[in-house]
Amino acid sequence: GAVVSQHPSRVICKSGTSVKIECRSLDFQATTMFWYRQFPKQSLMLMATSNEGSKATYEQGVEKDKFLINHASLTLSTLTVTSAHPEDSSFYICSARGRGGVTDTQYFGPGTRLTVL
Amino acid sequence: GQNIDQPTEMTATEGAIVQINCTYQTSGFNGLFWYQQHAGEAPTFLSYNVLDGLEEKGRFSSFLSRSKGYSYLLLKELQMKDSASYLCAGYNQGGKLIFGQGTELSVKP
């Protein structure tokens, strides 16, 4: 299957700092990338959808000024958590989908565990 | 809107067969996915059904009935490593993959 990488895999930061997470599709062009957040014992919650070269669309309740998403190329999307607070501590997972649209499988990155002290 | 429901947890014995059910209501349907997720890891793709019927892939099979809004994942010859969360997911009309709450499967010796 397709490979999606995420970096870093784990980050610990102080409250008030910003953290950038990178998501790359390694062997295919991802026209659409998705960012999810997962709290312990819960399912994945979609935060936002980004298409290459256009602004991300955010799900209801997700602050776009706090979670900045940039989909700079067909293989790279970044999520920046600005002014992180302890309640932002979570498992952040990106996924990528190819040119097939909704008939194409979404492949997930390995996730980034964010801990805000 | 879209709702995806699956049991919260299940327990089965090593070597046995287990069926994890998923029901969905959606105003638009573009297929149903099953993912496996081990604790602390990202989901890995298991299967994608867009037509009715059973699709077999090794020890794992997935079934879909679009008229009933129903799917199941069948795991045969269970192994300890199959202990994980199994997520049922489907696309909504906006092309976004929406997940059920996941079924935590515990395989016991």
Alpha-carbon span B8 to A13, nearest angstrom = 33
Residue by residue, pLDDT tens for chain A (117 residues) are: 668 999 999 999 999 999 999 999 988 888 889 999 999 888 899 999 988 878 899 999 999 999 999 988 889 999 999 999 999 999 999 999 876 655 567 889 999 999 999
Which CA distances in Å does B68 have to A86, A97, B11? 43, 28, 26
pLDDT value at B95 more than 90: no
- Write down the pLDDT at residue B55: 94
Q: Residue A43: its chain B contacts at CB < 8 A?
A: 87, 99-102
Mutation for testing the A interface, residue in B20, B99, B103, B104 having most A CBs under 10 Å: B99
Among candidates A34, A102, A107 on the partner chain, residue whose Cβ is nearest the Cβ of B45: A107
Residue B14 distance to chain A (closest CA, Å): 24
Residues 6+ apart with CB under 8 A from B53: B63, B64
pLDDT of residue B91: 80
Distance from CA of B102 to the nearest CA of A (A): 6
For chain A, report the end-to-end CA distance as a whole number of angstroms.
Answer: 36
Predicted pLDDT at B28: 67
Residue from A116, A114, A117 nearest A10 by CA: A114
Residue B1 reports pLDDT greater than 60: no
Determine contact, residues B93/B28, Cβ cutoff 8 Å. Answer: yes
Higher pLDDT residue, B90 or A36? Answer: A36
CA-CA distance, B106 to A48, in Å (whole number)? Answer: 32
Short-list A4, A66, A49, A46, CA closest to A29:
A4
Place of tokens 């067909």: A74
Res A1: pLDDT:
61
- Residue A27's pLDDT is 83
CB atoms within 10 A of CB A10: 11
pLDDT tens profile B18-72: 999 999 986 667 789 999 999 888 888 899 998 999 999 899 999 999 889 999 9
Residues found in chain B: 109
Q: Which residue has the higher pLDDT, A84 or B98?
A: A84
